[in-house]
Amino acid sequence: LLKDKVLFGSDYPMLTPDRWLADFADLKIKPEVRPKILKENALRLLGIPARADQAM
């Protein structure tokens, strides 16, 4: 599924993280997909185990 293949990317340093996240918040993305794009897919791709105490 596409929701499991999308990663968040930026054009830093041209825009600040506050701006990226504000623009991302304006997108019509289901709430359960947002953590995948912002973190979970990258962790899986890089082979980093998710920690239960670091929920988004």
Tens digits of residue pLDDT in 6-52: 998 877 788 888 888 999 999 999 999 999 999 999 999 999 998 87
Question: Which pair of tokens denotes residue 19?
Answer: 């701006």
Whether the Cβ atoms of residue 32 and residue 3 lie closer than 8 Å to each other? no
d(CA 41, CA 22): 20
Q: Which residues contact 1 (CB under 8 A, 6 or more apart)?
A: none
Say which residue the tokens 């979970």 belong to: 40
53: pLDDT strictly greater than 80: no
Number of H helices, E strands in the chain: 3, 0
Q: How many CB atoms lie within 10 A of CB 43?
A: 14
pTM: 0.76
